Amino acid sequence: MVLLALVLALSSIQETSPARHVDARRLRETLEKLSEFGRNPEGGVTRLGFSEADLAARGYVSGLMRDAGLEVRVDPAGNLFGRRAGSENLSVLLFGSHIDSVLHGGNFDGNVGCMGAIEVMRTLRDGNVRTRRPLEVVIWSNEEGNHFGLGTLGSGVAAGALGPEILERRDDDGLSLADWLRRYGQDPARLLEARIPEGSLAGYLELHIEQGPDLDERGIPIGVVQGIVGLERWMCEVRGFANHAGTTPMDRRRDAIAAASRHVLSVRDVVRAEAGRQVGTVGSIRAEPGATNVIAGRAVFPVELRDLDGEKIKRMWGAIQEQFARTDREENVETRCDLLERVEGERADPLFQSVIREAAESMSLETLDLPSSAVQDAQMVARIAPMGMIFVPSRGGISHSPRELTSWEDIANGAEVLYRAVLLLDERLNREGRDP
Ligand SMILES: [Zn+2]
């Protein structure tokens, strides 16, 4: 009777979700332990890249890698790798994320992908699974960039986007990045040896929390990332004429604040005019001279546009400039904008996207295709290798906050999808003829 009940219970679990290979409890334990490094009284962590808390956490993570039977090494940019040999002489399949946080960050951003990746390695070891290609876990250094103002630092160096010019950057304590690399046991003079030669990576997978509300709101457990959005940032200056606020008639004003305000609404209206997930933001306005009784003669504001499609960004910017020109004529002012920054969006590789979808389907988990609107290490790696990202839901879309939360069930599912995607890619990458 007991046996029958047990069989029934097991079969009902089987029905709702096929058995996971990864060990959900073990994964949770390591995430909880990791959250002790840099823990804040209000919850969450402050574990900036290149800090005591980060260094201690890396010690813990290296131990986990060694326990999982991985060969551990650190590159000169501070990226931490754990390698598992393959049965053939093929290029490496890499997966991981970051364990550094923002100031007063949460316990899940980056950490889920790192502990999930190590859990995948433990699961492969426990099951005596042999892969054809070597597998590596990576913990990228200083992804968030709150320290030194340089985000995706480790992956940026690895992908060739950053070089020795970053070494003399100093933090608020007057320490340089080179000083910190030495504290991490690295020789800054060898920084460029952290570059990953093109062709040596078969690809890169990253499991990450969504950091936005879509999956949570729709109750979908797995996001298949289509790519990481690109962005353009412009600084705009409106030149009017500063004059007496009492004696200047309304029809003779060249009011820089009034014109800038209309520009702000033009940005919003142009971005809203098309269907899609593009966003546009004016985050500040500074006006001069800045007195109650003087009409502003000058106003300065930034414009930021983001979308997966660089052409769409270009098109929106063109439409915004047309609107600015019309407003300038009506308000009798002049506006000019200078490009501050352009970051290219990066598409996830179609094979990687389909493999993630297939892995989720094999678990009877529903998926949603979506872009990442946040910066990711995968964006850097995409410059040198095909990449794919798996998203798991963020409760309420909250991230970079102690209130960041992803359920243990969603985390376990994400890690299982990563496990299955790694095995599918190990097989498919060969079949697709991607190796030399
Ligand atoms: Zn992150």
pLDDT at 237: 98
The residue-averaged pLDDT of 240-260 equals 97
Is pLDDT of 8 > 50? no
Residue carrying structure tokens 């079969």: 11
Q: Render pLDDT for 137-178 as a digit per residue (tens, 0 to 9).
A: 999 999 998 888 888 999 999 999 999 999 999 988 999 999
Check whether 180 has a pLDDT greater than 70. yes
Q: How confident is the model at residue 433 (pLDDT cuts 50, 70, 90)?
A: low
**pTM metric for this prediction:** 0.85
**Distance from residue 55's CA to the centre of ligand 1 (Å):** 18
Percent of the chain beyond pLDDT 90? 89
Q: How far is the CA of 230 from the centre of ligand 1 (A)?
A: 16
Q: What is the mean pLDDT of the chain?
A: 93
- Pull the structure tokens for residue 190: 């060898």
Q: In this structure, which residues have their CB less than 5 angstroms from ion ligand 1? A: 109-110
pLDDT greater than 50 at residue 265 = yes
Distance 155 CA to ligand 1 centre (A): 12
**Distance of CA 112 from the midpoint of ligand 1 (Å):** 9
The alpha carbon of 195 and the centre of ligand 1 are apart by a number of angstroms equal to 21
* Tens-digit pLDDT profile for residues 357-389: 999 999 999 999 999 998 899 999 999 999 999
Ligand 1 centroid vs 103 CA: distance in angstroms? 13
Q: Give the Å distance between the CA of 128 and the centre of ligand 1.
A: 31
Peptide bond into 289 cis (omega under 30): yes
What is the structure's pLDDT at 49?
A: 96
Report CA(405)–ligand 1 centroid distance (Å). Answer: 13
Q: How far is the CA of 412 from the centre of ligand 1 (A)?
A: 18
